[in-house]
Structure 1
Amino acid sequence: ILGGLRAVAKILPIPGLSIAATMAGSLIGGMEKAAETPEQKTAALAARTAYEQNRSKIDLAMETQYAETAAKVHASAAGTLQTALKSTDKFVSRASPAYLWAFTLTFLLNYAGTTIVNWTLALKRQSTMVKDMRKFAKRGMDKDGNIAEPKIYIHAEPKITGTETGRLSYELLHQVPPHCKPAFLPDPGHLLFQFDYKQIELLVMLYVAREWELLGRCINDGFDFHTMTAADFYNKPYETIKKDRRDLRAAIKPISLGRLYGKGVRSTALDMEMTQKEVTEIYERYNKIIPGLSRFQSEEVDRVERKGYIHTEFGWRRWFTNEEQKYANRSSNATEIFNTRIQSNAGIRTRLALVEIWRALKAEYGEGVGSKARLVLTVHDSGLFSVHPSVIRTVARLITEIATSPAISLPAPKLGMATGLRFPIDLEVGENWGDMKPWEEYISGDLSL
């Protein structure tokens, strides 16, 4: 099997590489479960690391129609896959013949199931991301309605009241998978520039729960929420989690997101391959670390039972039906109630920032603003702009000043922010939506575009 995989990985066509990668993924999964000795565990970890580094690149090569991009990622992905496969030799050489026969059968069954799932997903992506998007596609037009260029534009249709919480909603463009994003380009001669609020929903969750000490560590001290939570949960120093125990951060992240979005014990247990009892104990420990969450949820449920609505800090009001009001304590209703102020405040903060950014760009560049910089899309808590390189530093300064300005509806005097929270942001720049790099690399000259 290993010899066959290495042979397939050398085949030039991208489908051959994808098949080999899928088989390697199943093989490595079996290695991880069966590893017992330190040598076996080390070999399995090395194989998994090499595999994960380039699996996304292999998917990109499969999904994109651009041969040039496929050729670039193929060379890197093929080399890394070879490394992953070679590391399996150390494992197999120490395995008993009986185990190898059992593992071979399990591997083949897993491979068959994985292939069917991947094929189904590919058909779904083709249907939603290609066929359905055609109705939003229009060619570039001049002021007289003539085709000005062959570029095709996807015109999104944002709905201001498309969600109960006040978030913007789009059809399709909020669901573009990573491997399809390279197909989305800026205007000719421009770059894509994106700002994204860092973990804003988790920070708003701490705000409404009045967890000022944790919120201060994130905003004032620059702590990563998941790393901080893992450090508290496992009783280890923050720097230890950050540098040496990223696995603990990865372990606590689904618990935090499950708490934020109201994921139940049963579904969390299935996702994490744990028993419901184990997950229940984890949630209980988690709630002790952030006790304000349970208190906040009880207060919100009580408010809906009394008034029938949630009123957010930015003035958004969400009404609940009579049945939802009567049974507010039910799990599904309590989740909706808990999440309303969090999602609403985060979404409206982003929308207000985008309005102010557009006003600042118009004031800076006047009627010709569209040829310099323009907003092309907003997804969740980010804004994506098409910007001419000659003004990109000025645009970055304006966006940073506005996006990180105080959110006046969210005062936090205990953190020294009486005029409003200042949410941190990430900045990225790139030639297409699928290849965005950190802004710091661009301005330092380390990034060639």
Structure 2
Amino acid sequence: MTHPIGPDSRVTLVDGSGYIFRAFHGLPPLTRKSDGAPIGAVSGFCNMIFKLLADERDGDQPTHLAVIFDASGPTFRNDIYPAYKANRPPAPEDLVPQFPMIREATRAFGLPSVELPGYEADDLIATYARQAAEKGAKVRILSSDKDLMQLITDKIFLYDPMKDRPLGPEAVMDKFGVGPAQVIDVQALAGDSTDNVPGAPGIGVKTAAELLATFGTLEELLDRAHEIKQPKRRETLIQFREQIEISKRLVTLMNDVPVLEHLEHFGVREPEPEVLLEFLRRMELRTLTGRVEAGLRRDGYVADKADHGPVGIGAPVTPAPAQPAGPQAQPGQAVIPPAVYAPVKHSAYETITDLARLDDWLARVRTQGHVAFDTETDALNSVSGSLVGLSLAVEPGIACYIPVGHRGAGALGGTGDLFASPEVSLARLPGQLGLGDVLARLKPVLEDDAILKIGQNLKYDLSVMAQHGIAIHPIDDTMLMSFAVDAGRNSHGMDDLSLRLLGHQPIAFKDVCGTGKSQISFDQVPIDRATAYAAEDADITLRLWHILKPRLVQERCTTVYETLERPLVPVIAAMEQAGVKVDVAELSRLSLDFAQRMTGLEAQAHEQAGENFNLGSPKQLGDILFGKMALPGGKKTATGQWATGADALEDLAAQGHDLPRTIVDWRTLAKLKSTYTDNLKDAIDARTGRVHTSFNMVGAATGRLSSTDPNLQNIPIRTEEGRRIRKAFVAEPGNLLISADYSQIELRLLAHVGDIPQLKRAFIDGHDIHAMTASEMFGVPLDGMDPMVRRKAKAINFGIIYGISAFGLARQLSIPQGEARDYIAMYKQRFPGIQAYMDAMKTMAREKTYVETIFGRRCWVPGIHAKSQAEQAFAERQAINAPLQGAAADIIKRAMIRLPAALKEAGLSARMLLQVHDELVFEAPASQAEATCALVAKVMERAALPAVALTVPLVVEARAASTWAEAH
């Protein structure tokens, strides 16, 4: 069927190739579960098309729409200039098989998929745009490709779908310094390294625009090049005239391509439901399949899967009684309200500046029974930041922002200078509600057990509100929901989740606060812009909750979320608020000592090298080690410099070379000084006098917590220097620090999971596990064992957990690889359960793309299906280690969740301060230290129960002292 083009027509042309690469590079890799085929680009592309169609339906709906792709093979430009695009690398290996699937996806959505051998997509877009404009139609090109800016006219404009903004003449001027009509001339002069368009050497966009401003056109400029005063520019334009003219032919889009499909065939139509759903199910895109099915029930209507009506884009389908929305819906019914996928409209958000209006919103929250909640502060740290505003969302698309602490020179809603200098002293903007009044009304709602509070990384908001005496509960956290179902295969930040699950790119923090030296704090953001940003955060969070909550049940991840992740949020928030005290004087002494020792090592290195050089310069060091001294094993990096990383230096030091050992020692001290003894002093909070680290709850696929700002988990404890840094962590007067550490927990879990009798018996009997292993392997008695023999067994015991290779073990023990290989083979022979465990985990990973801990946590290992053998080998090691490290993380989390209540019930006032892998650190009154140690050890040792009855005992060593170093 044809749809004629006329003045009333609105034509949308999608840069399909641009969509593909945005989808591929903008999202983490994704594979199809059934066969491991890569589908990340397909998933991203489909989500973008779905969003496009939803936006078009609710906006200025086009009459004609088509997706234009680049055809494979050379184009006419290669005939003009054979080196055209020669610099471009081949498409990523995982992307190539997705190209035909993406074409099929386009057709499944009912859209024309257009390409033509010998021409680029931009040429087809230029041709269709010209044809439509000549017939009076308005043309919108969905792309941010700068090459298409030459097409912009009063009838044709670009629209950047990722930044959700039009690109008109102003954007062209910002990019090229000229209007659309002169873009081609600028590009011809400036060239394009990406496409290997040569241009004029030494002339960039800015210079090109200046020259054209003087001479008008490229042809006039070249004809009058002899008039240019600057000798270099003049000679370049004269010498490279032919090259510049070729460049213009390359950058000029052909707008008269002999297209095979005509505009009249691009009339918008609805996709066939069964075709689209069949494709999405075959691709195993379950979330998007649910969104499309939900579209069939839009606006209170439902339709059977076999219904032939439209899929959430056109008219309604057969009416039926309304069904309950949200996660409480019955099996087989839509659990996701269609509004979840409606376009985000910032204009619909409300700024609350009246207490009566705030009361209206809170009344709606009480009726609704759940609310998405978010806070905005003037600092990234929840302890040091002051509350600037709060946002609420009660339904998808219905959200508000309550400003309480904005400062600036403008009036309410005024835009002002967005990136004003942070040093400027600004007064509180008028029209905002008082913080006390707002909190007095919010407190009963946020603490009401009958109202669910939903957030993204709620740990931050709990900490902020706790400083105002508000304990938020009960809660749901979308970041942790995503982590429970997707740990290891996707990221869990709100922006990434929104883009992946909703096809929407939220406003970025940098877009409202700027970056670098011009960055402002959130209290200086104009309130209208703050409303769009903050209310969108709450809105998106609520939409994500509607999608992720059902997935917990569908993918059997509810237990992990409900028992391990969600209950930990208030515990971690309290730890971050508590912080830990550091002795500034001790840090200063350490800094001075490290500096003096570094000076000595520097002099020693200069003497060993026979010349002075910069120890911090990899280039100078490499030239001395492998050039001047000709030490063995030198390898050059891609930049042509010698590799002088830690591995290379450790290898050389192990061979007895003095200078590499000196450099390793110097680097160790330099890192400790810069990372800890210097920076910890700066990290002390002025309000509390303590250091408040931030714990990342979704940092590792295994569930392990990580620590940042500052990182307190990487302080080395096996070196004297590292132990000295821990000595600077102290208790407040009258208190002691308590360190409670699981003993060899991952080896104990290996004994349990692998059902290894010898290891289990050793743990049950309380024997030295490494000595026992040495005795089993090498047939030596336990009494009087050579420490070196025990060391070998210890290296193998811990190495096995991480899937160590013969190369790795050989390096660790400084033995030949053949000997290391024999040790590993002997170990597996003596303990056959270990090999069985390894094989089982690798098989599970290949079949399911994930492995599980004994508590049901899924750790995804998508690399198991990689084509690269190195990536596969790494994924296999992950599959072996993740169930053990993950189970250890699960156990300590279970202990952390139980400990606050256990301490309170026992009448003990200890506070949990830190978690460092298998260790917990507390601060307790000295008079309660002994009782606290006993209780903490008891809770930690029983943490696996009742979920899992381990066949080996867990052992916890808890000690109290005035410093962390002495307690550990």
Superposition TM-score, scaled by structure 1 size: 0.64
In structure 2, distance between residues paired with 1:205 and 1:328? 29
Matched with 1:156 is: 693
Q: 1:342 to 1:328 in 2, by over 3 A?
A: farther
Matched with 2:927 is: 390
Match of 2:886 among 344, 352, 355: 344
Matched with 1:262 is: 803
Asked if 1:436 corresponds to 2:967, the answer is yes
**Any conservation in 2 of the 1:301–1:328 contact (CA below 8 Å)?**
no
Amino acid at match of 2:748: L
Residues 243-262 of structure 1, C-alpha deviation per residue, up to 9 Å, x if partnerless? xx333212221122221112
Displacement after TM superposition at 1:189 (Å): 1.6
Displacement after TM superposition at 1:315 (Å): 2.1
Asked if 1:139 corresponds to 2:681, the answer is no
**Any conservation in 1 of the 2:738–2:959 contact (CA below 8 Å)?**
yes
Pick which of 401-410 and 373-382 moved more: 401-410
Q: 1:313 to 1:395 in 2, by over 3 A?
A: same
Asked if 1:411 corresponds to 2:949, the answer is yes
Amino acid at match of 1:190: N
Q: 1:406 to 1:350 in 2, by over 3 A?
A: closer
Asked if 1:173 corresponds to 2:712, the answer is yes
Amino acid at match of 2:663: I
Amino acid at match of 2:733: P
Residues 187-245 of structure 1, C-alpha deviation per residue, up to 9 Å, x if partnerless? 22211111111100111111111113421321x2001221111111121233343xxx3
Task: Could you tell me which runs of 5 or more consecutive residues in structure 1 were left unpaired when the two chains were aligned.
Answer: 1-62, 71-105, 142-151, 416-420, 438-449
Displacement after TM superposition at 1:405 (Å): 1.9
In structure 1, distance between residues paired with 2:767 and 2:925? 33
Asked if 1:227 corresponds to 2:227, the answer is no
Residues 340-399 of structure 1, C-alpha deviation per residue, up to 9 Å, x if partnerless? 10001011101111221211112233xxx6xx3111111111111111111112212211
Pairwise mapping of residues 282-361 of structure 1 onto structure 2 (< 5 A)?
282-321=823-862, 323-325=863-865, 330-361=872-903
In structure 1, distance between residues paired with 2:886 and 2:662? 40
Matched with 1:422 is: 953
Q: 1:227 to 1:140 in 2, by over 3 A?
A: farther
Task: Could you tell me which runs of 5 or more consecutive residues in structure 2 were left unpaired when the two chains were aligned.
Answer: 1-585, 594-652, 716-721
**Any conservation in 2 of the 1:64–1:179 contact (CA below 8 Å)?**
no
In structure 1, distance between residues paired with 2:881 and 2:670? 33
Pairwise mapping of residues 17-416 of structure 1 onto structure 2 (< 5 A)?
65-66=588-589, 110-133=657-680, 136-141=683-688, 152-171=689-708, 172-176=711-715, 177-218=722-763, 220-241=764-785, 245-321=786-862, 323-325=863-865, 330-365=872-907, 372-405=909-942, 407-408=944-945, 409-412=947-950, 415=951
In structure 1, distance between residues paired with 2:743 and 2:690? 29
**Any conservation in 2 of the 1:160–1:166 contact (CA below 8 Å)?**
yes
**Any conservation in 2 of the 1:308–1:319 contact (CA below 8 Å)?**
yes
In structure 1, distance between residues paired with 2:747 and 2:874? 20
**Any conservation in 2 of the 1:406–1:422 contact (CA below 8 Å)?**
no
**Any conservation in 1 of the 2:587–2:677 contact (CA below 8 Å)?**
no
Displacement after TM superposition at 1:112 (Å): 4.2
Amino acid at match of 1:203: R
Displacement after TM superposition at 1:131 (Å): 4.8
**Any conservation in 2 of the 1:305–1:328 contact (CA below 8 Å)?**
no
Q: 1:212 to 1:189 in 2, by over 3 A?
A: same
Matched with 1:443 is: none
In structure 2, distance between residues paired with 1:262 and 1:271? 14
Aligned length: 310
Matched with 2:417 is: none
Q: Give the structure, 1 or 2, with the largest relative contact order (CA under 8 Å, sep 6 or more).
A: 1
CA RMSD of aligned residues (A): 2.6
Structure 2 SS opposite 1:153? coil
**Any conservation in 1 of the 2:587–2:678 contact (CA below 8 Å)?**
no
Matched with 1:31 is: none
Structure 2 SS opposite 1:378? strand
In structure 1, distance between residues paired with 2:844 and 2:937? 37
In structure 1, distance between residues paired with 2:788 and 2:866? 42
Amino acid at match of 1:119: W
In structure 1, distance between residues paired with 2:820 and 2:778? 15
In structure 2, distance between residues paired with 1:267 and 1:300? 21
In structure 2, distance between residues paired with 1:327 and 1:215? 38
Structure 2 SS opposite 1:155? coil
In structure 1, distance between residues paired with 2:934 and 2:820? 45
Residues 37-66 of structure 1, C-alpha deviation per residue, up to 9 Å, x if partnerless? xxxxxxxxxxxxxxxxxxxxxxxxxx9644
Q: 1:276 to 1:193 in 2, by over 3 A?
A: same
Query: Considering only CA atoms, is the larger Rg found in Structure 1 or Structure 2?
Result: 2
In structure 2, distance between residues paired with 1:299 and 1:113? 42
Report the identity percentage: 24
Q: 1:272 to 1:361 in 2, by over 3 A?
A: same
